[in-house]
Amino acid sequence: MLTGRTSISLRLTFWFGGIFIAGWLLFSATMWLNLKGSLTEERNLTLSRRIDRLEVLLENTHKEPPAQQFLDFKEFAHATGRGLIEIVRPDGARVYPWPSATANSFPWPTDWRRSKETFVEVHENDRPYWVLVRPFSLDGNPVYLLAAAPEAGNLLFLKRFQDCLIASAPILLLVSCAGGYWLSRRALKPVGSIAATARSISIRNLSERLPVSRTGDELDRLAETCNAMLERLECAVKQIKQFTADASHELRGPLSFIRTVAEVAERNPKADSASRQAFVDIVDETAIAAVLLEDMLTLARADAESGEAILRPLDLTAVVEEACDMARPLATERSLRLSATVDGSDRIRVLGDFSMLRRLVWILLDNALKYTPSPGHIDVALRATSEKATVEVRDSGAGIAQTDLPHIFDRFYRADPSRSQIEGSGLGLSIAKWIAEIHRADLTVSSEELKGTTVQLVLPVSLKPEAIA
């Protein structure tokens, strides 16, 4: 049974094979019946011609002596059809003696009295024969002329023809299925290219287009329609990105002004305690808003740029150590244990941007600090092989639900309501993913609710330690 998961090529092959079988059966039945009809017609014509010649013989010899008539009849019978010819009167008496022993032992039909020419089927030793019975007038007396012919030859020929048809069916079916599969694969080949290109298109490369073969077929029109849709999406996304970048940039000035005014007003000795607290809240909120705007500007630049960055040799160990030094005061304040371990005594070297990698590790540590309740622990491990370096941040926090894991790198995505109560913009991991992509690194997250989260950053190692001063 074909299911929805079966490929189109395979389904077309099965359909092609099924249609071929139906056509082959119809063709074979038609040919078999046509051949049988032709053989039957040829046999009937042979018997009819034999009786015609017998009538001519009887008309030409009816004035000869009876003995001569019998000799002519006997000679004619032996010359045609193994002597299976007989002439009988209406009462069943033979006009001439048996012309041959075969005719004597042959099971001639007993219901031969007919008013017109008739074909009668008889069997001799289970072998079928057909007998033509034709009324005739011999010297003014009614008689019946009988001539027999075997059916075995025709049946044998039909059997061989049938066997050939049956034997050819598997071969023809195999050839037709193989041909149908090849044709369907060839016709649907552009689908593979379209699917591969479509899978590679994301929000970062909407300028990519599906391949168009210019054949003018349905797949061509589908690709052109999808390309038109991608063009509209690209224009819409560009407008959104441009708006985000412009809005973030334009809001930085007013936000800085508000923060400065609030800080000045907070230091005013004439302000009462309630006003001073309000100014403190304004300063705190503007600081949070400034971080959000900075993150939005970072992602806007990431969207506008090609994704290429100038990567220089750097000490990944120093990057991790600086990020951990930044996180330790916060860990101590929140009663969390922060530990960092580096495998091996050598410094681990990679190609990258120091500040960007430090920001990436800090984002991972900041998330761990936010979502790990006290008392808890955060473990940072750095290890390397000859081909790759791995930074692992493991915490004992609340964890992430499996349904949320596929979306944690989406912008502004916040997980369950309990996590959304924690301060944050939802852009940190999006920025971390962007930085990882620039460094051609893999950033993966595994988590289990109520047991903690593990984040791994795997970077390629392309330089030996001694290659960097």
pLDDT tens digits for range 105-144: 888 888 777 778 899 899 888 889 999 999 998 888 899 9
Q: Return the pLDDT at 1.
A: 47
- Of residues 377, 374, 378, 345, the one with CA closest to residue 361: 378
Among the three residues 260, 275, 304, which one is the final residue of a domain in this structure?
304
Helix (H, G, I), strand (E, B) or coil at 459: strand
User: Quick one: 356 and 456 in the same domain?
Assistant: yes
The rounded distance, in Å, linking the Cα atoms of 77 and 83 is 4
Q: Is residue 167 part of a domain?
A: no
- Of residues 347, 311, 319, the one with CA closest to residue 437: 311
Among 29-38, 121-130, 252-261, 373-382, name the one with the lowest average pLDDT.
252-261
Instruction: Give the range with max mean pLDDT: 158-162, 200-204, 304-308.
Output: 158-162
User: Quick one: 15 and 145 in the same domain?
Assistant: yes
Q: Is residue 209 part of a domain?
A: no
Considering its fold, how many domains does the chain have in total?
3
Q: What is the DSSP string of 394-457?
A: EE-S----TTTGGGTTSTT---SHHHHTSS--S-HHHHHHHHHHHTT-EEEEEEETTTEEEEEE
User: Quick one: 319 and 452 in the same domain?
Assistant: yes
Phi, psi of 339 (to 5 degrees): -125, 145
Q: Cα dist. 73→108, 145, 262, 266, 406 in Å?
A: 18, 12, 140, 145, 102
Residue 328 binned pLDDT confidence (cut-offs 50, 70, 90): very high
Q: Is residue 198 part of a domain?
A: no
Q: Return the pLDDT at 135.
A: 92
Could you tell me which residues come within 8 angstroms of residue 260 by beta carbon, excluding any fewer than 6 positions away? Answer: none
- Give the residue-averaged pLDDT of 323-343: 91
User: Quick one: 238 and 327 in the same domain?
Assistant: no
User: Quick one: 345 and 280 in the same domain?
Assistant: no
Q: Which range of residues forms the domain containing residue 72?
A: 8-157
User: Quick one: 242 and 297 in the same domain?
Assistant: yes
User: Quick one: 271 and 375 in the same domain?
Assistant: no
Q: Return the pLDDT at 320.
A: 92
User: Quick one: 300 and 320 in the same domain?
Assistant: no
Q: What is the DSSP letter of 466?
A: G
- Of residues 287, 293, 411, 309, the one with CA closest to residue 357: 309
Q: Cα dist. 55→144, 147, 211, 313 in Å?
A: 11, 12, 83, 116
CATH code for the domain in which residue 356 is found: 3.30.565.10
User: Quick one: 287 and 343 in the same domain?
Assistant: no
Of 134 and 462, more confident: 134
- Give the residue-averaged pLDDT of 325-351: 87
Q: What is the pTM of this model?
A: 0.52
Q: Return the pLDDT at 378.
A: 94
User: Quick one: 295 and 378 in the same domain?
Assistant: no
The rounded distance, in Å, linking the Cα atoms of 336 and 376 is 5
Burial level of 372, CB count in 10 A (0-12/13-18/19+)?
Answer: buried
Residue 458 binned pLDDT confidence (cut-offs 50, 70, 90): very high
Instruction: Give the range with max mean pLDDT: 10-19, 162-171, 373-382, 456-465.
Output: 373-382
Query: Is residue 444's pLDDT more than 90?
Result: yes
The rounded distance, in Å, linking the Cα atoms of 352 and 355 is 9
CATH code for the domain in which residue 290 is found: 1.10.287.130
Q: Return the pLDDT at 467.
A: 41
Residue 345 binned pLDDT confidence (cut-offs 50, 70, 90): low
Q: Is residue 183 part of a domain?
A: no
Q: Is residue 142 part of a domain?
A: yes
Give me the chain's average pLDDT, please: 83
Residue 394, by phi and psi: left (phi above 0), alpha (psi -120 to 50) or beta? beta
**pLDDT tens-digit map of 359-417:** 999 999 999 998 899 889 999 999 988 889 999 999 998 888 888 888 888 877 766 55
Among the three residues 244, 270, 304, which one is the final residue of a domain in this structure?
304
- Give the residue-averaged pLDDT of 53-80: 87
CATH code for the domain in which residue 135 is found: 3.30.450
Residue 465 binned pLDDT confidence (cut-offs 50, 70, 90): very low
Among 296-300, 342-346, 413-417, name the one with the lowest average pLDDT.
413-417
Residue 466 binned pLDDT confidence (cut-offs 50, 70, 90): very low
Phi, psi of 146 (to 5 degrees): -120, 135
Token duo for residue 467:
């290659």
Angle at alpha carbon of residue 292, lines to 286 and 298, rounded to 5°: 135
Query: Is residue 250's pLDDT more than 80?
Result: no
Query: Is residue 463's pLDDT more than 60?
Result: no
Among the three residues 140, 157, 174, which one is the final residue of a domain in this structure?
157
Q: Is residue 194 part of a domain?
A: no
If one counts every other C-beta atom within 10 angstroms of the C-beta of residue 423, the result is: 7
User: Quick one: 250 and 150 in the same domain?
Assistant: no
**pLDDT tens-digit map of 89-114:** 888 888 888 888 888 888 888 877 77
Q: Return the pLDDT at 421.
A: 52
User: Quick one: 270 and 335 in the same domain?
Assistant: no
Of 309 and 451, more confident: 451
Q: Return the pLDDT at 233.
A: 85
* 108, 130 contact by CB (below 8 A): no
Residue 218 binned pLDDT confidence (cut-offs 50, 70, 90): confident
Q: Is residue 123 part of a domain?
A: yes
Token duo for residue 123:
């069997």
Burial level of 243, CB count in 10 A (0-12/13-18/19+)?
Answer: exposed
Q: Is residue 192 part of a domain?
A: no
Of 303 and 130, more confident: 130
Query: Is residue 299's pLDDT more than 50?
Result: yes
Among 9-23, 294-308, 323-337, 393-407, name the one with the lowest average pLDDT.
294-308
